[in-house]
Structure 1
Amino acid sequence: MKKVLIITGGQTDIAFAEEVYKEYRPNLVITADSGLLTANKLGIIPDYAVGDFDSSDKETVENIKAKFEIYGKPIIKKFNPEKDETDTEIAISLSLSLNPAEIVILGATGTRLDHTMANIGLLYKIMQSGIKARIMDKHNVISLHDKDIVLKKDESFGEYFSLLPFTEEVRGLKIKGAKYELDGYILKAGSSLGISNEIVENNVFISFEKGILLIYQTSDVGLALSGKM
């Protein structure tokens, strides 16, 4: 199973990123723009580095180019800053061309809410390819689903989970095994009903008849990763 880690240019807690890298054990690492700097701090030579590098340290880029040559890695792919895709989307498109089984994205959240929202939207592009994907930061795991899902208590990343509709509505939503259960509910855009639920049984079963669902696993104190990646 080929697992891809994408490190993009948003805020990334280095200690958390290091833990993700050790737990996830990716087969390939792709950085997007200043995600290259995060990889450098982690001591990782990415397999691919993409982007316009308009926010990366030029000296670091040149140093890593040299390391690429030493380790025989693919050359850095540079794009014009005036382009139609973000660096993160370019990295995702590249990862999809490599036929991964799973993708984890770090650095996709942060101070730029427009980028955060766009990156969450990019999960749809991955989902359409039938590939499991998660955006992760120190406090959140974000995933997108068009099929039923089971959340296991012993594999839960945080103490809460929240459901939001990605489409205008999610019809026939059922939640069983959680503190707040639903049966055949229509979850509509603009509703906060699905926020801050809790797993109370061993498994939470989430099913729905139509629509696409965003699932957030969250923790105020920080995600628990050990043995769950």
Structure 2
Amino acid sequence: MTCFAILLGGDLSVTTRLRRQIGKARIIAADSGMMHAAALGVTPELWVGDFDSAGSELALQYADVPRETFPTDKDATDGAIAIAEAMRRGASDFLLLGGLGGQTDHTAGLLGQSLDIARRGFRCCLSSGAEEAWPVVPGHLSIDVPAGSRLSIIPFSDLTGLSLTGVKWPLAEQTVGLGATLTLSNVVTGQVDIMLQAGHGVAIAYPLLAPND
């Protein structure tokens, strides 16, 4: 199992939980996502992008990190390029850090990309530190978040056979239509297990952090 953490250019709150999550992950920075490296205490093995937003100070600070430069006029985001490179390097799991919040089009696009990652058989989690998201595709997904955390499942299509345990309001083989709000604002009581027969969506959690987190 090889986990890659991709540093993206959005907001990131560095918590104790986030530090545990990156653990022994290999790191790739996407353009200005390199700004999170110091706070996380990591040095990426690769820095990719068009470098239109990275900043000269970062370039000096991380001059020894190998770089792959791409033209500004390209058909993929810097984050997508970093993810593709991680796949080429043998990734099995992904942590996409700094991709939630900010510009809605980029966030929505990244959530869609996470669904594609999951449909290709990779495990994927997005995090801003204060907010986490997991793509939900047919099959089984286990999520470990602290009891008391708020959890929602957002349908990106009609969901068929949705079962949900480890929450205050469990579900058993429920059909949840696109646009339905049935699965908003649940409360975690233990390990969360999600089973889905058909469709795809995104589970979003707001981890209840300990005082020292």
Normalised TM-score (structure 2)? 0.87
Residues 1:44 and 1:181: Cα distance change in structure 2 (over 3 Å)? closer
Q: Offset at 1:127?
A: 1.2
Once residues 185 and 5 of structure 2 are traced to their aligned partners in structure 1, the CA distance between those partners, rounded to angstroms, is: 28
Residue 159 (1) aligns with residue 149 (2): yes
Q: Secondary structure of the equivalent of 1:148?
A: strand
**Counterpart in the other structure of 1:218:** 206
**Counterpart in the other structure of 1:112:** 103
**Counterpart in the other structure of 2:84:** 93
* Larger of the two Rg values belongs to structure: 1
* Maintained 8 Å contact 2:133/2:205: yes
**Counterpart in the other structure of 1:32:** 30
**Counterpart in the other structure of 2:187:** 198
Amino acid at match of 2:135: L
Once residues 20 and 8 of structure 1 are traced to their aligned partners in structure 2, the CA distance between those partners, rounded to angstroms, is: 14
Residues 1:125 and 1:12: Cα distance change in structure 2 (over 3 Å)? same
| Pairing 1:131-142 to 2, within 5 Å after superposition | 131-142=122-133
* Structure 1 or 2: more strand by fraction: 2
Identity of aligned residues (%): 25
* Maintained 8 Å contact 1:165/1:212: yes
* Maintained 8 Å contact 1:30/1:95: yes
Residues 1:23 and 1:89: Cα distance change in structure 2 (over 3 Å)? closer
**Counterpart in the other structure of 1:12:** 12
* Maintained 8 Å contact 2:19/2:40: no
* Superposed CA RMSD: 2.5
Q: Secondary structure of the equivalent of 2:52?
A: coil
* Maintained 8 Å contact 1:139/1:223: no
Unpaired runs of at least 5, structure 2: none
**Counterpart in the other structure of 1:64:** 62
Q: Offset at 1:56?
A: 1.2
Q: Secondary structure of the equivalent of 1:199?
A: strand
Number of equivalences: 211
Residue 103 (1) aligns with residue 94 (2): yes
Q: Offset at 1:210?
A: 1.1
47, 50, 53: which one pairs with 2:48? 50
Residues 1:22 and 1:208: Cα distance change in structure 2 (over 3 Å)? closer
Per-residue CA deviations over 1:164-187 (Å, capped at 9, x if unaligned) read 212x20112223453223333221
Residues 1:59 and 1:169: Cα distance change in structure 2 (over 3 Å)? same
Once residues 96 and 176 of structure 1 are traced to their aligned partners in structure 2, the CA distance between those partners, rounded to angstroms, is: 31
* Structure 1 or 2: more helix by fraction: 1
Once residues 141 and 211 of structure 2 are traced to their aligned partners in structure 1, the CA distance between those partners, rounded to angstroms, is: 20
Once residues 177 and 35 of structure 1 are traced to their aligned partners in structure 2, the CA distance between those partners, rounded to angstroms, is: 34
